[in-house]
Amino acid sequence: MIDEPTIAQWLDQARSYVDERKYLHALQVYHKITSNAPGLEIAWVELAYVHFELKQYEAAEKSLLRAVSSSAEPQEILFLAGNLFLKLGQHQRALVYYKKLLGRESGLSRDLKAHLNFNTALAYYYRGNPKLSEVYFKRTKKVDPHFPKINESLGELLVRRGAHAEAIQCLKQAVKDDPYSWIGHYLLGLAYAKMYDWRKAYEEFVQAIEMDPNEPRAWHMCGETLISLQRLDEAERYLRRALELNPMLTDAVVDFGFLFLRRGDVEHARECFERALQLEPHHTKALEGTRELKLSTPIRS
């Protein structure tokens, strides 16, 4: 039987190999440890990480399940198993593990409970179930109102659902918690825009640009809100910058079309809408622009 000091020495050696990214060497040492000390939970967990780095995903799951069988309190290991499949994009398999824990949340720490609900929300989101995703984001917020990115995540879902007033309250908290979050300001701007509060929307998009001046979507939305405010010359500058950053940003091309249309420049408006439809043939707003263009063009007798 191998004594504890030897096992500890082997663990240190394996961890050194991991730090050096020598995963095959680490694998050999962890196999030696788990063969001699099969009840050592931490060795199985660390072995699972090595398998993951080597893209041996089924072996990683098996190692975690061995850790579960060795543990008196396997909750965190089950959570890690769910996270393994969340990272792999296998969201239903992730949910299988998360659901094992959701039924017994009372025994979980506050931190684990918050992470569990948040990751469950992500899994449902990626499976195309925004309704359940919203439920679990709200549960996360109830457990920990200041959980990282919870207000941005929930706020985005609320904007998409059309619950704009609720989204605004949520996203106000997001930018209060993290004033430097470009996505928080951007989403708050979207929520204000959906409520037709163009001035506040513009202010938030400007804040988003200040946080990340290389993000074209904020420049585009500044331009769009300025069109609604009839500040066309300013709008043009923002839209041009958006397209400099991303020439394929169809929404910005479309808004350029509406900008020209407001100025009565029918030819340039038509060029923009046609270009947008080349990029995205079924773009709803571009099709709307072409219809508006036809209505604004006088019929020649």
Q: Give me the residue label for tokens 């709008």.
A: 235
Give the whole-angstrom CA distance, residue 85 versus residue 95: 9
Query: H helices of the chain, where?
Result: 4-19, 23-36, 41-53, 57-70, 75-87, 91-102, 110-126, 130-143, 150-161, 164-177, 182-194, 198-211, 216-228, 232-245, 250-262, 266-279, 284-296
pLDDT given at position 33:
96
CA 41, 42, 48, 50 torsion: positive or negative? Answer: negative
pTM of this prediction? 0.87
Domain boundaries defined on the chain: 1-70, 248-301
Contacts of 60 (CB under 8 A, 6+ apart): 48, 49, 51, 52, 84
User: For residues 79 and 97, is the Cβ–Cβ distance under 8 A?
Assistant: yes
CA atoms within 13 A on the CB side of 243: 16
Give mean pLDDT, residues 194-217: 98
CATH entry, 1-70, from 1.25.40.10, 3.20.20.330, 3.30.1490.20, 2.60.40.10: 1.25.40.10
Give the model confidence (pLDDT) of 104-131 as tens digits: 888 899 999 999 999 999 999 999 999 9
CA atoms within 13 A on the CB side of 219: 21
Give the model confidence (pLDDT) of 254-296 as tens digits: 999 999 999 999 999 999 999 999 999 999 999 999 999 888 7
Q: Which CATH architecture fits 248-301?
A: Alpha Horseshoe (1.25)
Helix (H, G, I), strand (E, B) or coil at 2: coil
Token pair of 291, please? 């219809």
